Amino acid sequence: MAFTLTEKEGFSWVTSGTLPAKHLFTRRLSGVGEYPYFSNPDPQGEEREVWERVRALWRRFRDAGGFPAEGFCFTHQVHGTLVRRVTAAERRMPPLTPFPPDCDGLITDEPGVPLCVFTADCVPVLFHEPRAGIVCAVHSGWRGTAKDMMGAAVAAVTGLGGRAEDLHAAIGPCISRCCFETGPEVKEAVEALLGADAEGLCPPEEGVPGKYMVDLKETNRRRLLQLGVPAGNIDVSPDCTMSMSDVYWSHRATGGVRGTMASVIML
């Protein structure tokens, strides 16, 4: 399995060979950098200009990606593990006023409903269960990973009639073990999640006492294996958002002054 880079109409994104459903993980240069949430439904002045720019970007992105005119289903992410079921009625175009409900994952069994999650170092994971006809998108940073976001996603899929053994999963570009320096709390959370399967995932950082280099991609992949997803159905992007911060938004590399990448999947 492998990821493929596509450049189209000023946008760039990667797609995974493991997912039969239409999907993409955007890159920074896609232009979907500005956050789509707005609290003011009728902004004026400078705020109005940003609002219009966000709207224009999302229209261009929607059309370049070939998504429905009605738009996308969105999360308002809170580093939790709630996976919300959505329908075509919830499709919207940014700027989003009011904010969508709090959740870190979306799932649907309806065709033509693009599910969108946001990341910039955290782990985006897109799922497709082709037998039952289900797609799911989740945001899984280290907190979500530790709270078992993969378990929540697989439970949401089985709750809609899907099966773990038929599930395909693509773990998208995110901060990788080369750059993810953490304190002991992350290492302990990974070990609590995976038990003996955490072996080798959180080695101490050389020459830096009390710090560990954690592999969040592999943590999520191993958790999916524990949950019964076949190894051959799981694809992992080789890209590190921090090492490649010229093409991806990285929260750490920018000190938090950043846009966000969108990961989208649709039946």
Cβ proximity to Zn ion: between 15 and 176 the closer is 176
Q: How far is the CB of 14 from Zn ion (least distance, A)?
A: 16
| Residue 94 in tokens | 């940014």
Residue 260 interacting with Zn ion (CB under 5 A) = no
Nearer to Zn ion, 240 or 264 (CB): 240
Give residues 172-201 in contact with Zn ion (rule: CB under 5 A): 176, 178-179
Residue of 243, 247, 252, 254 interacting with Zn ion (CB under 5 A):
243
Q: Mapping DSSP to helix (H, G, I), strand (E, B) and coil, where does residue 175 land?
A: coil
Residue 73 C-beta: closest distance to Zn ion, Å: 31
Cα–Cα distance between 69 and 220 in angstroms, integer?
33
Smallest gap from Cβ 122 to Zn ion, in A, equals: 14
Give the x-and-dash track for 115-154 against Zn ion (CB under 5 A).
----------------------------------------
Alpha-carbon span 141 to 74, nearest angstrom: 17
Cα-based angle 139, 145, 146 (whole degrees, multiple of 5): 145
User: Measured from the CB of residue 121, what is the shortest distance to Zn ion in angstroms?
Assistant: 10
Binds Zn ion (CB under 5 A): choice among 194, 240, 264, 267: 240
Using the minimum distance from each CB to Zn ion, give the nearer residue, 134 or 242.
Answer: 242
Q: Of 61 and 180, which CB lies nearer to Zn ion in the complex structure? A: 180
Return the ∠ at Cα 54 (arms to 112 and 44), rounded to 5°: 130
Q: How far is the CB of 240 from Zn ion (least distance, A)?
A: 3
Report the amino acid identity of residue 124.
P
What Cα–Cα distance (Å) separates residue 56 from each residue in 62, 141, 149, 155, 265? 10, 29, 33, 37, 21
- Asked if 242 is part of the footprint of Zn ion (rule: CB under 5 A), the reply reads yes
Q: How far apart are the first and last CA of the chain?
A: 20
Q: Based on CB atoms, which residue is closest to Zn ion, 215 or 235? A: 215
Pick from 12, 14, 13: nearest CA to 3: 14
Q: What's the min distance (Å) between Cβ of 241 and Zn ion?
A: 8
CA dist., res. 215 & res. 191, Å (int)? 12
- Look at residues 12, 11, 26, 23 and name the one whose alpha carbon lies nearest to residue 170: 23
- Token pair, residue 143, equals 């907190």
Nearer to Zn ion among residue 81 and residue 119 (C-beta): 119
Please report how close the Cβ of residue 250 comes to Zn ion at its closest, in angstroms: 9
Give the interface with Zn ion as residue ranges (CB under 5 A): 176, 178-179, 240, 242-243
